[in-house]
Amino acid sequence: MWVFSAGPSESTSEFKWLTSLEEAVEEASAQGKLVLIDFYAEWCGPCKLMDDEVYTDPDVRTFLSEKFVCVKVNVDENPGLAREYNVAFIPTVVVLTPSGVELGRIVGYLPPDNFISELSGIISQS
């Protein structure tokens, strides 16, 4: 018996990272979504774990694509933005409304299920 898979779901394939916070805010406003900022650095071990284990997880990708417009901010390349959002440790994920109001943040590595749970909690409190 042969089983064929159509590949990733449409919402998973739609997941993308932006590199401009301004663009993310515009898209979030137009789409009625929240903004998720992932503050990271190339040398950061836990940041790499987030990239390798969390952001590649199909459930996480689907959840993010449905609820957020996501932007990655390298703290070494954008120290002013990191200061503006009081990022003291990385990885730090900040959730904003399209108008720029911070709803919550996650500091440090979380496995996929915990990451979705924490983000869901932030959304439900907004």
Q: How many domains does one find in the chain?
A: 1
* 4 within domain boundaries: no
Does the predicted model carry a pTM greater than 0.85? yes
Provide the token pair at 96.
Answer: 């904003």
Residues ≥6 apart with Cβ < 8 Å to 78: none
What is the tens place of the pLDDT at every residue in 25-69?
999 999 999 999 999 999 999 999 999 999 999 999 999 999 999
* 111 within domain boundaries: yes
Provide the token pair at 89.
Answer: 């440790």
pLDDT band at 116 (very low <50, low <70, confident <90, very high): very high
Q: Which domain holds residue 56?
A: 12-124
Q: How far apart are CA 20 and CA 32, in angstroms?
A: 18
* 80 within domain boundaries: yes
Catalytic residue from among 24, 44, 70, 87? 44
70 is an active site residue: no
pLDDT band at 125 (very low <50, low <70, confident <90, very high): confident
**Locate tokens 């898209």: which residue?**
27
Map residue 14 onto helix, strand or coil. Answer: coil
Catalytic residue from among 24, 28, 35, 47? 47
User: Is residue 9 predicted with pLDDT exceeding 80?
Assistant: no
CB atoms within 10 A of CB 13: 12
The CATH number that applies at residue 29 is: 3.40.30.10
Which class for 22: exposed (0-12), middle (13-18), buried (19 or more C-beta within 10 A)? exposed
47 is an active site residue: yes
